[in-house]
Amino acid sequence: MQPIRRALLSVYDKTGLVPFARVLAQAGIELLSTGGTARALREAGLPVVDLVEFTGFPEMLDGRVKTLHPKVHGGLLYLRGHAEHEATAERHGIRPIDLVAVNLYPFEETVARPDATRADVVENIDIGGPAMLRSAAKNHEHVTAIVDPADYEEVAAQIQAQGATTLELRRRLAVKVYARTAAYDGAIAAHLPRWLGAGGGADLAADDRLGGGAPPDRLIVDAPRVQALRYGENPHQPAALYGRFAEHFRQIHGKELSYNNILDLTSAATLISEFRGEAPTLAILKHTNPCGVGRGASLCEAWEKALATDRQAPFGGIIAVNQPMDGPCATAIAEIFSEVVVAPSFTPEARAVLQQKKNLRLIEVSMDSHTAAGGEIRGVGFESLLWQQPDRATVRARDQVKVVTKRAPSEDEYQALLFGWRVVKHVKSNAIVYAAADRTLGIGAGQMSRVDASRIAVWKAGEAGLSLRGSVVCSDAFFPFPDGLVAAAEAGATAAIQPGGSKRDAEVIEAADARGVAMVFTGIRHFRH
């Protein structure tokens, strides 16, 4: 095992730096450093050689050039024991650097700052750091490369025990280096177009009603692992959570979230965000589909209306509300078994009630999370990914729809249509929702034909003892034939909302007129496959 003779320390994040450097110094390892890192080490009483002294070349261009020197990269890259490399190093006065501890300028943190300027962003693109790390990692047979302060302890332990690191550890650290530099470059490539006004990134400023946005030329995913999960959809599938989940959701009670919990609660949060800033609204979801949605003068009233849609499916489901969860509603929902409750916040009274259920997960969510930048990515196997802009299209007012029948909807029908349309958007297609102005009455999800979805919705309403007379019917896509509209009218619906766009629209409109059904077109489809 080859001993470590010289280490180069140059870190932005100085967590654990001094204790680690002290171990190196006690082992007789010469410390090279730059700028603030060198100052921190000297203040701790450790001997440090400035890199400019080591290279014989000054820092220049406001620190942009300080580590980009042959004596640095030569010392990292030359193969120890290789006759030609050793001779070249000797001829040019290149001395070995056997360990590098470097972490990078905070580019990701900088672009997230609301007060960041273009100059701030550009100056926080690290050049020397990634270059040194990549050189050291490439030569991992001889050089230890550390990019994460969390690895100081293991490296220090090996140096204390044997004066060197094992090849196995150096290989692991090299892989970690390339993962970090790849993510770092990916973050730059993903964010820089927005700051420079250059192409290649998605246009997030497009019309929100229509979704908008263009696919990026190259899909770059930069998502750190934030949580290992027990398993995926099924116990035999390993799984983990990546990204910025914790910035939008905060768990305040209950056992660890599962893969399926996360699928359900994010679907619930997205649905309930449709009703942000409105009257108390509550949604119950199961397997990412809404079972019932209700609106009332209070959350408790909204709960009763949502539950009335389907009293069986909510068992083990997800409950989401658009207002702080209060004590009366908490007491009501505590009567059934739920997996997760999602709310902007929980009152002390609500927490006192719900925290009696030790396994119930309570999640606080930002009601504006649905507006977060970025697209939706779905793996489809075959080493392929699909990308799309999130479906942010919405219809909230009657002037956003087109009346296509002889009869226009009444005021009550309009209220029901606009309510149900925002719910059907979140039901797996083919999707049919029967609704009143303040509640869902029957939901049919995920069927191979629209007529079958309608039949299921009618059956569910019957099972719940709810009348569909005077209801409205909402369809996520156009009725391809009049039969779906006819079935809705026979079930009691008096108004319908759908995208329109079928070559048989005229036949569907004629069938609606014949039955006195008012119908509006949105021009927007909401498929959820």
Sign of the torsion angle spanned by Cα atoms 89, 134, 3, 168? negative
Backbone angles phi, psi at 364, to 5 degrees: -90, 135
Are the C-beta atoms of 441 and 474 separated by less than 8 Å? no
Q: How far from 512 is each of 252, 404, 416, 475, 482, CA to CA, in Å?
A: 50, 10, 17, 14, 8
Residue of 69, 138, 248, 253 marked active site? 138
- Where residue 212 falls (left for φ over 0; alpha for ψ -120 to 50; beta otherwise) is left
CA distance 375 to 151: 33
Matching residue, tokens 């094992």: 166
CA distance 263 to 83: 58
- Torsion angle of C-alpha atoms 284, 355, 365, 117, degrees rounded to 10: -170
Q: What would the two tokens of residue 446 be?
A: 């995920």
Q: What would the two tokens of residue 478 be?
A: 């156009």
Residue 521's Cβ-side half-sphere holds a number of Cα atoms within 13 Å equal to 15
CA 228 to chain centre: 15
Helix (H), strand (E), coil (C) string for 205-255: CCCHHHCCCCCCCCCCCCCCEEEEECCCCCCCCCEEEECCHHHHEEEEECC
Residue of 14, 253, 287, 357 marked active site? 287
Residue 223's Cβ-side half-sphere holds a number of Cα atoms within 13 Å equal to 14
CA distance 345 to 330: 12
Q: Which amino acid is at 350?
A: A
Please give the helix or strand (H or E) that residue 341 lies within, else none. strand 338-343
Our answer to whether residue 428 is catalytic in this structure is no
DSSP labels for 392-437? -----SGGGSEE-SSSPPPHHHHHHHHHHHHHHTTSPSS-EEEEET
Backbone angles phi, psi at 139, to 5 degrees: -95, 40
Matching residue, tokens 């910025």: 244
β-sheet with 472-475: strand ranges across: 249-253, 361-365, 338-343, 317-321, 281-286, 289-295, 439-444, 432-436, 472-475, 495-498, 518-521, 402-403
Q: What is the DSSP letter of 174?
A: H
Closest CA to 99 of 159, 44, 46: 159
CA 507 to chain centre: 43
Our answer to whether residue 287 is catalytic in this structure is yes
Q: What residues act catalytically?
A: 138, 287
